[in-house]
Chains A and B, each alone.
Chain A
Amino acid sequence: QQQVKQSPQSLIVQKGGISIINCAYENTAFDYFPWYQQFPGKGPALLIAIRPDVSEKKEGRFTISFNKSAKQFSLHIMDSQPGDSATYFCAASSYSGAGSYQLTFGKGTKLSVIP
């Protein structure tokens, strides 16, 4: 059972445009929602994260929007650049006791920013 659904699977955006990736979750116990960026041959890198007590978090060109009632969150990349071309994963986690926070990942979105 996929607990975090991510869309689209792939995305092509013009340089300078806005990239939008969406995720939806089912488990209401999730209380931490990070986004990871992965370049080919590299490990996922933590990009930005949000907790459900806020509806939006912005860091530079990256913004997370969070809708708790709809159980959805999204990543917006403003002024997209060719260097942003990578695979983006949304994730969700909850504390499961004894120092354990398990991340459940979406399937990923391959973003291509064309000049």
Chain B
Amino acid sequence: DSGVTQTPKHLITATGQRVTLRCSPRSGDLSVYWYQQSLDQGLQFLIQYYNGEERAKGNILERFSAQQFPDLHSELNLSSLELGDSALYFCASSGGNSYNEQFFGPGTRLTVL
């Protein structure tokens, strides 16, 4: 158990809808990273927050957004969903003694029908 929690575990929705994925980092970690994992693209970095502020952006679509709250949990919002958005979404957290080490949550499996 990495100490990172994600909810929900599974999410099934329809095209055009909007969903919110939630992540709680390990105790004491200030950084939260979001990744998308699909069969053809592997693990793709989406966005990073550090202590409530956006710090880095990767291959994140404009339809996607994220935020980190004062209690350090983070939410990833996916809107106008398309079939191709079906994937596993992971968050990871880092901090403490080594900001390089990222610890992943169990993921949210999103299925868009």
Contacts and interface: CB of A to CB of B under 8 A. Distances in A.
Contacts of B55: 98-100
Interface in B53-104: 55-56, 58, 90, 92, 94, 99-104
A43 B100 contact: no
Contact of B43 (A44, A96, A101): A44
Interface of A: 32, 34, 36, 42-46, 49, 89, 93, 96, 98-108
Given A43-B104, A43-B107, A44-B90, A108 B42 contact: yes
A99 B31 contact: yes
Interface of B is mostly: strand
B25 interface: no
Interface of B: 2, 4, 30-31, 33, 42-45, 48, 50-51, 55-56, 58, 90, 92, 94, 99-107
Closest 7 CB pairs of A and B: A43-B104, A105-B43, A100-B56, A100-B55, A99-B50, A32-B100, A107-B42
Nearest to B91: A43
B50 to A, nearest CB: 4
B100 A49 contact: yes
A46 B93 CA distance: 12
B45 A104 contact: yes
B99 A99 contact: yes
B56 A102 contact: yes
Given A49-B100, A100-B50, 16 more contacts: A34-B100, A36-B104, A43-B104, A44-B104, A45-B104, A89-B42, A100-B48, A100-B56, A101-B31, A101-B102, A102-B56, A104-B45, A105-B42, A105-B44, A108-B42, A108-B43
A96 B56 CA distance: 8
Contact of B2 (A45, A96, A99, A108): A45
